[in-house]
Every structure is written in structure tokens, then in C-alpha cells.
Amino acid sequence: MSGVCCLLEVAGTEYLAPVDADSCRELFSSQAVARLATIGPGGPHLVPIVFAIDGDTIVTAIDQKPKRTHRLQRVVNIEGDARVVALVDHYDENWDRLWWVRADGAASILRSGREYTAAIDLLVSRYQQYQAARPDGPVIAISVARWSGWQAAPSQ
Amino acid sequence: MSGVCCLLEVAGTEYLAPVDADSCRELFSSQAVARLATIGPGGPHLVPIVFAIDGDTIVTAIDQKPKRTHRLQRVVNIEGDARVVALVDHYDENWDRLWWVRADGAASILRSGREYTAAIDLLVSRYQQYQAARPDGPVIAISVARWSGWQAAPSQ
């Protein structure tokens, strides 16, 4: 667990407590949306994603509409530099309840095969919205090398 | 407005409509938390931030506790590569109501002076949580070169 952190620069909170890796996975999974950062020639790139987790792999898919977007910037970026980071956070007016979890890893693009199908199945089972329109674009599979997370520890 | 997009890969949504720059600023400001991506030697870095907007400048501060975190990774990264991106998104179970707004720009670190004080004042006026504990660490000021955003346009 990294010691480099800061959780929204919390005023009024004395301690920021690291979250263990198992809890990181659990907290990450508890949210419907994450944000995915990649690196491109023009700088960092950042998009919201829906996702599913299988162990230390996070998967997200490119939808079938519109087809031209199958060559999305995030895909182009990953093909050039596999290093990515995905983040889930929880905001609350009470800053003693803030937390975030980050997953650093390497991404690959899947376009067919057993792993591809398994990833799509996982996404469809997690999001009912996908049941009406199964994604058929590329899958981004992130092999997570490090989970890190922090949560506010209320002031004494 | 960039044509490169995809809003959570929306199933069941026929069109993704770009959002004009004025609406981007307004939508961005409507949320309490954004995510900031920077580039470091180890790859992309991503954290949640609280922020304030003044025209085409986004500011966020480093809190005073704990003091050792004044050399946060985000600050080190910006000193090495000013290119950053900040993202705000709205998730809804109804994927016809999704939207996101992204701000691409160059960041600088402020440690004192008129702009520094103005940024802290803006943050304190926006977050009552800061009124009890005014941030006294560095400010990250992002000069936004491009606002881009997309919102779902419901299926016909």
C-alpha cells in the first residue's frame, strides 16, 4: 500500500487511513462508475467508465454505437502506452466520510476470444442496461498491479 | 468542441450530443468533486479533488494536514509536466441521463501572492468545510485550453 496519498485534502480530519487491498477491491466494486486515465501524445486523457472486476482485472467495453468511435482516444492511447489508472471515489458533504480507491496497472485491448467473451458476459451481468444492448466493441482489460485506497478517519 | 468522445458507451442511446463551452463550465461547477489526472515518471496519476472555477481557470488546494503531503505526487508530476485533465461526470441508473465534462489544460503551482490568496478565498467560499480549516498548502491552478462535454440524447 502506497504512503503517497491525500484524500480530497480533508479539512477537519486528523488522519487518512490506508485501505487494505481486499477492501480496495470491495469498495471499487461497490460503485457503478469509475474514471480511467491514459496517456496520449497530447497529454493525459480521462473518461468515466462502467466496469466489472474479476480478481485483479478490471474490464470495460466499447459500445457498438456509434461504430466510428471504436477507435476511441483511450484505445489509441493504450495501444501506445499500456500504463493506466482507474479511480473510484465517494464524496459526502461530511468530509469524515470520504474515501477513494485507485487501481494502477497495464491495459490491453481484447477484440475476440475467450477472455473477450468472459469480459462482456461479466459486464452484461453487472449492468442491466447492457442486457438490452450487449456491447460488441473492444474490451479494455486492466491488469491491476497495485490497489491503493484511503478513507477519512474522523477527528477525535 | 472535440468530436472524440464516448459517454460511458451508452447502450440504448442513439446519439451523444456535444455540450457547448458555456454549458461545460456550468455543468462542471455544479458538482462538488472532480478528478484530476497528471503524468508522472511511473505513468498516469489520478485523484479526486474539490475545486473552484474562475472563468477558464480551475483551482484546487493542498490542505495543511499532514504537512508532509505538501509534496504530493500530483504536485511533483505537474512540476515535471504541466499537462493535466480534470473531469466531472454524472451517473444515473437511467443511462439517458448521463453526462460528463472534461477540461484539458496546463497546470501551475501557486504558493503565495495575489492569485494564490484569491484561489484560497474562492475555495473557502465554495466549501463550508474549508471555513473551519482554511487550506494553507500549495494551490494547483489549471488554465483550461479546452472544455469538452457530452450528454446522452434519449432514443427516439
Q: Could you report the predicted ipTM of this complex, rounded to two decimals?
A: 0.88
pLDDT of residue A64: 60
Nearest Cβ partner for B49 among A8, A39, A43? A8
Q: What residues does each domain of chain A span?
A: 21-151
pLDDT at A79: 96
**Fold category of B21-151 in CATH:** Pnp Oxidase; Chain A (2.30.110)
Statement: the pTM of the whole predicted model exceeds 0.95: no
Does the beta-carbon distance from B44 to A38 stay under 8 Å? yes
Secondary element (H or E) of residue A26: helix A21-29
Residue A112 has what DSSP assignment? S
Q: What is the pLDDT along chain A (156 residues), one digit of tens a residue?
A: 333 334 444 444 445 678 888 999 999 999 999 999 999 999 999 999 999 999 999 999 987 655 455 578 999 999 999 999 999 999 999 988 899 999 999 999 999 999 999 999 999 999 999 998 899 999 999 999 999 998 887 554
Please tell me which of the candidates B12, B35, B135 has its beta carbon nearest to residue A46.
B35
Q: Which helix (H) or strand (E) holds A76?
A: helix A73-80
- pLDDT tens per residue across all 156 residues of chain B: 333 334 444 444 445 678 888 999 999 999 999 999 999 999 999 999 999 999 999 999 987 655 455 578 999 999 999 999 999 999 999 988 899 999 999 999 999 999 999 999 999 999 999 998 899 999 999 999 999 998 887 554
> In chain A, which residues have their Cβ closer than 8 Å to the Cβ of B41?
none
Minimal CA separation from A4 to chain B, in Å: 7
The answer to whether the Cβ–Cβ distance between A87 and B48 falls below 8 Å is: yes
Cβ–Cβ below 8 Å for A72 and B4: yes
Cα distance between the two ends of chain B: 24
8 Å CB contact of B69 and A8: no
Distance from CA of A30 to the nearest CA of B (A): 14
Number of other CB atoms surrounding residue B114 within 10 Å: 8
Q: What is the DSSP string of B8-36?
A: TT-TT--EEEE--HHHHHHHHHT-S-EEE
- List the beta strands (DSSP E) in chain B: 15-18, 34-40, 43-49, 52-54, 57-61, 83-90, 99-110, 139-153
